[in-house]
Amino acid sequence: MSDEHFQFSSFRENVLEHMITAECLQELWRQEVFNCEVLKADVDGAGFDIVMEANHVLRHIQLKASLLDGRTRQQKINLHLASKPSGCVVWMVVHPKTLDFDHFYWFGGAPGEPLPDISDAPVAKHSKANAEGFKAERPNLRILSRARFERVESVKELVNKLFGQNPTYMDAS
């Protein structure tokens, strides 16, 4: 990973959160869905970063990101996300220089459905060991391999996964 992605990881996280929110809202506009709401979590304890509602579907969304040329093969997912009505994970894969979205990985149920069960996934451990070299378990986090995610090629496809397609919208493409 290049230095700027390490040094400015919080800034990058905020940029990507704003980008995905804006692009999803733009796609909803294209689909003539105008009753949208977006909420941001100030505390990251409940497993989600943003909440979006459209088409009468409420989504608690945990955002993850990795670089297109990166080696990330798994993500740590918060178990609390399963307690939300329609929790999901959106994993954004971005170009290292521009932060443009290349594609996404999706983990979640159909619109209105809960997060698929992840209780069988391995328990995550702290990345840093204590003084004795022991890495404690993080009981509320599970490790999901990329194989459990579905690849999504576009924001349009992602929005349809999140909220379904507006039944009155006629796609001209």
Asked if residue 27 belongs to a domain, the reply is yes
17-42, pLDDT tens digit by residue?
Answer: 999 999 999 999 999 999 999 999 88
pLDDT digits (tens, 9 = 90+) for 64-112: 999 998 899 999 999 999 999 899 999 999 999 999 999 999 999 999 9
Q: What is the CATH number of the domain that holds 150?
A: 3.40.1350
Kindly state whether residue 173 falls inside one of the protein's structural domains.
no
Q: What is the pLDDT of residues 116-127, one digit of tens each?
A: 999 999 999 988
User: In this structure, is residue 171 part of a structural domain?
Assistant: no
Reduced to 3 states (helix: H, G, I; strand: E, B; else coil), residue 72 is coil
Tokens of 130: 């204590």
In a domain, 83, yes or no: yes
Domain range for 7 is: 3-163
Name which of 136-140, 163-167, 169-173 the model is least confident about. 169-173
Q: Going by DSSP bridges, is the β-strand pair 88-94/57-67 parallel, antiparallel, or unpaired? A: parallel
Q: Is residue 169 part of a domain?
A: no
pTM for the structure as a whole? 0.90
pLDDT for res 42? 86
> Measured on CA atoms in the order 91, 149, 124, 95, is the torsion positive or negative?
negative
- Greater confidence (47 vs 152) lies with 152
Residue 135, pLDDT > 80, answer yes
The per-residue b/e assignment along 84-112, b for 16 or more CB within 10 angstroms, e otherwise, is: bebbbbbbbbbeeeeeebeebbbbbeebe
Q: Which pLDDT belongs to residue 127? A: 82
| 3-class secondary-structure state, position 123 | strand
pLDDT digits (tens, 9 = 90+) for 42-69: 887 789 999 999 989 999 999 999 999 8
Model pLDDT, residue 165: 80
Q: How many domains does the structure of the chain reveal? A: 1
Please check the confidence at residue 161 and state whether its pLDDT lies above 70.
yes
pLDDT of 77 reads 95
